[in-house]
Homo-oligomer: A and B are copies of this chain.
């Protein structure tokens, strides 16, 4: 039995990734759950509170997932990380950093702060994983691990966005190229 409170965040997350933060309303969520507008406000008083909850939910989900992977090789963990984006794609959405980033100027401060934390967490995990893979000689790259981490997240983010316009399977293409690049000796 998944709580209404949780269902709301999940639907908000979908709407934000597919339509954008400024293109969904409390009514959109209420309709999908067969509830009234005010019921959503009962659980999340303001849109900023809901937006913040969506970001926190994404952060927690990320931490849970990476924990599950911890016995896999570092190279495999990077591959699993790239799979997250492929899943976003299947659900018709972009990554949450892209969705919120594109309307960053319109976001309340509490959401911006939460976003920065999320970015730091993701970048730290990926840098650490890349670095560990490099130490084991399973992964190669020339720049710093943090730079490489940003390059990877940036490439995956934009391939999801561009794919909507170009209708070409860019995401898996870019994922493949990134892996190939990390394998080269």
Chain A residues within 8 Å of B, Cβ to Cβ: 18-20, 22-23, 92, 94, 97-106, 112, 115-116, 119-120, 123, 143, 147, 150-151, 153-155, 157-159, 161-162, 164-168, 170, 173-174, 177
Contact = CB atoms under 8 A, between A and B. Distances in A.
7 contacts: A20-B20, A23-B106, A101-B165, A102-B103, A105-B164, A150-B168, A157-B161
Given A23-B103, A92-B105, A106-B19, A159 B164 contact: no
Q: Which of A18, A101, A170 has the most CB of B within 10 A?
A: A101
A162 B177 contact: no
A162 B153 contact: yes
A162 B154 contact: yes
B97 A161 contact: yes
A123 B162 CA distance: 11
A116 B166 contact: yes
A108 B159 CA distance: 22
A154 B143 contact: no
Contacts of A98: 102, 158, 161
A101 B160 CA distance: 9
A4 to B, nearest CB: 25
A99 B162 CA distance: 11
